[in-house]
Copies of this chain bind each other. A is one copy, B any other.
Amino acid sequence: MNIAIFGTGVVGRMLASKCSELGHGVAIGTRDIQSSHGSEDLKQFLAGHSEISLRSFPDAAKFGELAINAVSGANSIAALKMAGADNLRGKVLIDISNPLDFSAGMPPTLSICNTFSLGEEIQSTFPETKVVKTLNTMTAALMVYPSLLPGDHNVFINGNESSAKAEVVDLLQQFGWKAANILDLGDISASRGVEMYLPIWLRLYGSLETAVFNIHVVK
């Protein structure tokens, strides 16, 4: 499957590398190809992954049969608008972003929460795209290498369309997630829950002194 990954940061590169390793066609989408080529990290990454192409947001969106939003929360809506509603129409869009607001320093607050969420805002801005929120509750490496942690721990998934969620569950299983550890929290409004989990994640990150942790729901 051809996958478009929006965002050239650590999360975007980690997902691109894993999807490519799994045999998918991968294009990384960026706002400005010229300035992205100026980034040393990205230059090295692309040099090591000749099968992954760097494209403009709209070109990446056209390429992808499925798209992944790995742009920062603050820039997600603008980036997806550049990718274009037409190019995303009818496709599954995995949203892994968090609406973190660093403008007042650390710790960040959420720019949107409680009665709305970024996942919902993306879905309502692109009503003909099937938004599925997942993977936003952990550090990048764990998203695609869940076995970095011993034993069972969970990834959450939510969205309005069952068929779209099934497609994402399949991709998560390719990443190494056991079916039993993928928890469906319901429709896209559950994005409030998984995004509002970030403040406790940030506190745990501070206490545990590592980002490589996750939660296991015990029942």
A-side residues, CB < 8 A to B, are 109-110, 113-115, 149-153, 156, 158, 183-186, 190, 192-194, 196-204, 206-208, 210, 212-219
Contacts and interface: CB of A to CB of B under 8 A. Distances in A.
B192 A199 contact: yes
A195 B124 CA distance: 27
17 contacts: A109-B115, A110-B114, A113-B113, A113-B196, A149-B218, A151-B218, A156-B200, A183-B204, A184-B207, A186-B203, A190-B200, A196-B196, A196-B197, A196-B198, A204-B217, A213-B218, A214-B218
A196 B186 CA distance: 18
Contacts of A203: 158, 185-186, 190, 193
Contact of A217 (B110, B152, B158, B208): B208
A210 B196 CA distance: 21
Nearest to A151: B218
Contacts of A184: 207
Nearest to A204: B217
A150 B210 CA distance: 26
Contacts of A215: 215-218
A185 B214 contact: no
A27 to B, nearest CB: 32
B114 A218 contact: no
Nearest to A185: B203
A186 B185 CA distance: 29
A202 B196 CA distance: 12
